[in-house]
Amino acid sequence: MQQELKSELTKNLIIDKAYKMFYENGFKTTSIGEIMKATTLTKGAFYHHYKNKEELGLEVISLKVEKRVHDSMILPLYEKGDALNILETTFLHRLKSFSLYDKQHGCPTNNLINEIGDFETTYQIALKKIIEKWKMALVSLIERGQEEKSINQNVSGHAVAIYLISAFEGIRGIRKLYNDDLILDQYIQGLSLYLKQLEV
């Protein structure tokens, strides 16, 4: 039992360090050696848990990246209340909650999509799964709003969902180019205007 716990802690340490380094330095440029140096563990410890960097990358995506999107952008969409208000609150609250570190490094999901989304099918599938879950949660909320007569019946839930995700991911990437939040404030104004157009 003690050995199992130690093994789990070792694995979590590798995942945490890998996630941080992929986020800050990029997936392709971060080597297994650099990750293990950051953990102060041996390469033997790495290969005890993972066959290769690809396997670690997939675990980072499922355990860190997907969880981050799920907790912050998907779960809030299932709360009770006015659908439009939930949309606005979820997107705006998330943007306003980012630390300077997060603003400077952008979105982990988007970074990985841009860097390795076309790199290998296994990464494509894992990253697409995150976007599809997010999209379907948004579609579900939009359709609920249409049933409750707070969102225009003529809008396509799928189109709105993809637009909201794309715009959000886009501004996360663009913000990396700026030293202040003016660009975020302008995005927030645009988002508010867009959501008003969805009202009945």
CATH of domain 57-198: 1.10.357.10
- Give me the percent of the chain exceeding a pLDDT of 70: 100
Q: Are 106 and 17 in contact (CB under 8 A)?
A: no
Distance CA 115, CA 27 (A): 7
Amino acid (1-letter code) at residue 147: E
By three-state DSSP, how is residue 89 classified? helix
By three-state DSSP, how is residue 96 classified? helix
What are 155-181's pLDDT values in tens digits?
999 999 999 999 999 999 999 999 999
Q: What is the pLDDT of residue 4?
A: 79
Domain boundary assignment for the chain = 1-51, 57-198
What are 60-99's pLDDT values in tens digits?
999 999 999 999 999 999 999 999 999 999 998 899 999 9
pTM of the model: 0.93
Q: Does domain 1-51 have CATH number 1.10.10.60?
A: yes
Furthest C-alpha separation in the chain: 61
Confidence label for 1 from pLDDT (cuts 50, 70 and 90) = low
For helices 108-116 and 121-147, the axis angle rounded to 10 degrees is 130
